[in-house]
Chain A
Amino acid sequence: MSAVGQDIEKLVKREYKEGFYTEIDSDTFPPGLDENVVRAISRKKEEPEFMLEWRLKAFRRWQRMEEPRWAHLRFPKIDYQSISYFSAPKGERPKSLDEVDPKLLETYEKLGIPLEEQKALAGVAVDAVFDSVSVATTFREKLADAGVIFCPISEALQEYPELVREYIGGVVPAADNYFAALNSAVFSDGSFVYIPKGVRCPMELSTYFRINEMNTGQFERTLIVAEEGSYVSYLEGCTAPMRDENQLHAAVVELVAKENAQIKYSTVQNWYPGDEQGRGGVYNLVTKRGACRGANSKISWTQIETGSAITQKYPSVVLEGDNSIGEFYSVALTNNMQQADTGTKMIHVGKNTRSTIISKGISASRGQNTYRGLVKIVKGADNARNYSRCDSLLIGNHCGAHTFPYLESKNPSARIEHEATTSKISEDQLFYCMQRGLNEEDAVSLIVNGFCKEVFRELPMEFAVEARKLLEISLEGAVG
């Protein structure tokens, strides 16, 4: 430091720096959604027949479903006919990085994600998704050497159709909920990861999602399968241009961990949050779920949610295998007019299963932040254990912090423990820091960072620093 101080100084007048738009010729469907659109997406992707059938089935289910409104969120009804369900940069999909439009490379470079391997962060492979398609995936060869498949899901459907067919919808069924059904019908791309038995993935895998086009929804689908005894750490990041209109992002993420496998999934979500008056911003309505299928498997979700106008997501773990472990670490920050209703579900099915939930919510300005979490112990889950801790910090008198846990137990040998606190930053802590010379904004940022430490330390090193900065930036103007 005072890295913190300088960053804040530098960024006080900062706008959402990822808010630029890339001028690029794109092939965009006209707005609207019907079966023909679903067919057209499938055709574009040259998908196998089973996939089209699957999509259509999901679409028909979706048409009979109602948009859920039980969350502590207020936003106008989404007009699904005004959204375009497919947009991609024009031209053939590049075969290698050399063929990628330089404008795209430049876009990602500007976002701090250089795609040229020599410039890239050592040890991190990136799949870059631009609107509806993946434009580049780095380090594929190196990964292939280890037997790891890391590619766009559209490509996986062509090259490993049986593998995808086996797992897709296996954790989040096509009609699981309204937004999952929509995604199942119209998803355009996303990442596919397959870690073979006994392999420890040699690099961090990462997908960077970018919404660019106007009125375009992004519906990506990510599927990660970790075979017996394997390990993978995966990270996703997200940004979008600044626009006065809202944009919809309805993703589905499915994780499968087999016996002794471990999946660590981290998210740094920084979609455009809208402006101070609440104009624009992304509606981030996402279904994420992992299944600990095998004994001793482990799935760990870490999320830093600072962006989006509306966030609704509950990354969950179904603990089927005996001794399996589920973890959820979350920092969610809502500033200005942002609203978030996020948390997790831990479903204990196997014996001796364990879950930990650490949630840190920060509400500033007029932000509304809700933790909602379910811990469910089914009858056979002997000796299941859960520990949850949810802390909320309030900055300013017009925001809200809400904590809604659900504890359900049907097993007399299980233990569930939940604790929650809500408070503002203490005057004593502020005075102490300021007496040591820190200005108010730095003092707040220092205290907030300390508040989030338990979660930050779960992030891969490179991203922990990013996350901390993001938090400081997102808190801007919240003090005073």
Chain B
Amino acid sequence: MLSIDNLHVRIDGKAILKGIDLDVGSGEVHAIMGPNGSGKSTLANVLAGRENFDVTQGEVKYLGEDLLALPSDERACKGVFLAFQYPVEIPGVSNVYLLKAAVNARRKYHGEKAIAAGEFLKLVKEKVKMVDMKEEFLQRAVNEGFSGGEKKRNEIFQMAVLEPTLAILDETDSGLDIDAMKIVADGVNALRREDRSMIVVTHYQRLLDYIVPDRVHVLADGRIVKFGDKNLALELEKEGYGWIRDRLEREPGAATR
């Protein structure tokens, strides 16, 4: 489904990603872990098409297509969804209004008719329950005045409505207490499907207790330094990220390989 090959990315001239290789198969859940500043969020944002990033090398194929050539809205219409680490507030625009615009943008892209009002309402009412939120929540302005937990749940809610093919969750667990994290994880698990892949970006292992990944990749200093199955996450939990730093210091060549 997604194939990243030797991806190099710079921001303001500074190298952030230094050669990422990653293959995500259909229906798989991949976790990307790593210390702060390792480039995790950059990777998530580059895949979603944020500007201000300079891709200097490498390519990304999504469903056989060159993903990087597409503007962000087209990627979204093709099923790429980013759950933001810091969801943006849009004053005056209600949640439900944005979602309807988003649903119809997709439909239009695929040459379908706009969704009927009744059908849409039924859909969102059903999905909003999934993240344990009240219906009033739909009428509130996007993320405005939401608590941290509400913002994150809102992202999962949007994901449920938009039904992406590739979902990228950027530190969706950060700032959540254990109850909120369970709600988010339950939502995500309910959305796992054979034809839907997920990339879960996280600093901590604890989210992976609830969302069990097929593969775990450790990102450090702009490249994947280790990968394995779900047990790798447990190993990291025990040992922390210190060993990575040690290794990078011991083998400076690792940083330029």
Which residues of A pack against B, CB within 8 Å? 1-2, 4-6, 426-429, 431-440, 442-443, 446-447, 449-454
Question: Can you list 8 residue pairs at the A/B interface with Cβ under 8 Å?
Answer: A6-B108, A6-B114, A432-B84, A432-B142, A443-B73, A450-B90, A450-B91, A453-B91
- Given A432-B84, A442-B101, A452-B92, answer yes or no on A437-B141 (Cβ-Cβ < 8 Å): no
Q: How long is the Cα–Cα vector from A442 to B103 in the complex, in angstroms?
A: 13
Q: How long is the Cα–Cα vector from A429 to B98 in the complex, in angstroms?
A: 12
Which residues of B pack against A, CB within 8 Å? 48-52, 71-73, 75-77, 81-82, 84, 87-93, 97-102, 104-106, 108-109, 114, 141-142, 158, 162
Q: How long is the Cα–Cα vector from A450 to B93 in the complex, in angstroms?
A: 5
Chain B residues near A432: list those with CB within 8 A.
84, 87-88, 90, 142
Most buried by A among B49, B92, B102: B92
Q: How long is the Cα–Cα vector from A446 to B75 in the complex, in angstroms?
A: 19
Chain B residues near A449: list those with CB within 8 A.
92-93
Chain B residues near A443: list those with CB within 8 A.
73
Q: How long is the Cα–Cα vector from A435 to B84 in the complex, in angstroms?
A: 10
Lowest 4 CB-CB distances: which A-B pairs, in order? A450-B92, A453-B92, A450-B93, A2-B104
A434: contacting residue among B73, B90, B141, CB under 8 A: B73
Chain A residues near B114: list those with CB within 8 A.
1-2, 6
B71: contacting residue among A5, A433, A434, A446, CB under 8 A: A434
When A and B form their complex, what is the total count of cross-chain residue pairs whose Cβ atoms lie within 8 Å?
99
A428-B88, A454-B92 given; name 18 further pairs at CB < 8 Å.
A1-B114, A2-B108, A5-B101, A5-B105, A5-B108, A429-B90, A431-B72, A432-B142, A434-B49, A435-B76, A435-B82, A435-B84, A437-B76, A437-B77, A437-B102, A437-B106, A438-B101, A450-B92
Q: How long is the Cα–Cα vector from A436 to B52 in the complex, in angstroms?
A: 19
Chain A residues near B142: list those with CB within 8 A.
432
Q: Which residue of B lies closest to A436 (CB)?
A: B102
Tell whether, in the assembled complex, residue A447 and residue B90 are in contact, meaning their CB atoms are under 8 Å apart: yes
Q: How long is the Cα–Cα vector from A413 to B105 in the complex, in angstroms?
A: 53
Tell whether, in the assembled complex, residue B101 and residue A439 are in contact, meaning their CB atoms are under 8 Å apart: no
Chain B residues near A2: list those with CB within 8 A.
100-101, 104-105, 108, 114
Q: How long is the Cα–Cα vector from A276 to B142 in the complex, in angstroms?
A: 34
Tell whether, in the assembled complex, residue A438 and residue B88 are in contact, meaning their CB atoms are under 8 Å apart: no
Tell whether, in the assembled complex, residue B73 and residue A438 are in contact, meaning their CB atoms are under 8 Å apart: yes
Tell whether, in the assembled complex, residue A442 and residue B49 are in contact, meaning their CB atoms are under 8 Å apart: no
Q: How long is the Cα–Cα vector from A372 to B108 in the complex, in angstroms?
A: 43
Q: Which residue of B lies closest to A443 (CB)?
A: B73
Chain A residues near B82: list those with CB within 8 A.
435
Q: How long is the Cα–Cα vector from A452 to B90 in the complex, in angstroms?
A: 12
Q: Which residue of B lies closest to A1 (CB)?
A: B101
Tell whether, in the assembled complex, residue B76 and residue A451 are in contact, meaning their CB atoms are under 8 Å apart: no
Most buried by A among B52, B81, B91, B109: B91
Chain B residues near A428: list those with CB within 8 A.
88
Q: How long is the Cα–Cα vector from A328 to B74 in the complex, in angstroms?
A: 41
Q: How long is the Cα–Cα vector from A19 to B85 in the complex, in angstroms?
A: 48
The distance from the CB of A52 to the nearest CB of chain B, in whole angstroms, is 50
Tell whether, in the assembled complex, residue B105 and residue A437 are in contact, meaning their CB atoms are under 8 Å apart: yes
Q: Which residue of A lies closest to B71 (CB)?
A: A434
Chain B residues near A439: list those with CB within 8 A.
73, 105
Chain B residues near A426: list those with CB within 8 A.
88
Q: How long is the Cα–Cα vector from A4 to B105 in the complex, in angstroms?
A: 10
Q: How long is the Cα–Cα vector from A437 to B108 in the complex, in angstroms?
A: 10
Tell whether, in the assembled complex, residue B92 and residue A434 are in contact, meaning their CB atoms are under 8 Å apart: no
Q: How long is the Cα–Cα vector from A435 to B99 in the complex, in angstroms?
A: 12
Q: How long is the Cα–Cα vector from A428 to B71 in the complex, in angstroms?
A: 15
Q: How long is the Cα–Cα vector from A443 to B102 in the complex, in angstroms?
A: 10
B76: contacting residue among A1, A4, A5, A434, CB under 8 A: A434
Q: How long is the Cα–Cα vector from A427 to B98 in the complex, in angstroms?
A: 17
Most buried by B among A439, A442, A453: A439
Q: Which residue of B lies closest to A453 (CB)?
A: B92
Q: How long is the Cα–Cα vector from A435 to B46 in the complex, in angstroms?
A: 11
The distance from the CB of A449 to the nearest CB of chain B, in whole angstroms, is 7
Q: How long is the Cα–Cα vector from A247 to B91 in the complex, in angstroms?
A: 38
Tell whether, in the assembled complex, residue B50 and residue A431 are in contact, meaning their CB atoms are under 8 Å apart: yes
Q: How long is the Cα–Cα vector from A426 to B91 in the complex, in angstroms?
A: 12
The distance from the CB of B200 to the nearest CB of chain A, in whole angstroms, is 17
Q: How long is the Cα–Cα vector from A429 to B52 in the complex, in angstroms?
A: 15
B92: contacting residue among A433, A436, A437, A451, CB under 8 A: A451
Q: How long is the Cα–Cα vector from A133 to B237 in the complex, in angstroms?
A: 82
Chain B residues near A427: list those with CB within 8 A.
51-52
Q: How long is the Cα–Cα vector from A433 to B100 in the complex, in angstroms?
A: 12
Q: How long is the Cα–Cα vector from A442 to B91 in the complex, in angstroms?
A: 16
Tell whether, in the assembled complex, residue B90 and residue A433 are in contact, meaning their CB atoms are under 8 Å apart: yes
The distance from the CB of B151 to the nearest CB of chain A, in whole angstroms, is 11
The distance from the CB of A385 to the nearest CB of chain B, in whole angstroms, is 24
Tell whether, in the assembled complex, residue B73 and residue A447 are in contact, meaning their CB atoms are under 8 Å apart: no
Tell whether, in the assembled complex, residue B72 and residue A446 are in contact, meaning their CB atoms are under 8 Å apart: no
B158: contacting residue among A4, A436, A442, A451, CB under 8 A: A436
Q: How long is the Cα–Cα vector from A439 to B106 in the complex, in angstroms?
A: 10
Chain A residues near B48: list those with CB within 8 A.
431, 435
The distance from the CB of A83 to the nearest CB of chain B, in whole angstroms, is 41
The distance from the CB of B145 to the nearest CB of chain A, in whole angstroms, is 14
Chain B residues near A4: list those with CB within 8 A.
101
Most buried by A among B52, B77, B101: B101
- Given A436-B158, A437-B162, answer yes or no on A446-B101 (Cβ-Cβ < 8 Å): yes
Q: Which residue of A lies closest to B168 (CB)?
A: A435
B72: contacting residue among A435, A451, A453, CB under 8 A: A435
Most buried by B among A2, A426, A429: A2
Tell whether, in the assembled complex, residue A1 and residue B97 are in contact, meaning their CB atoms are under 8 Å apart: yes
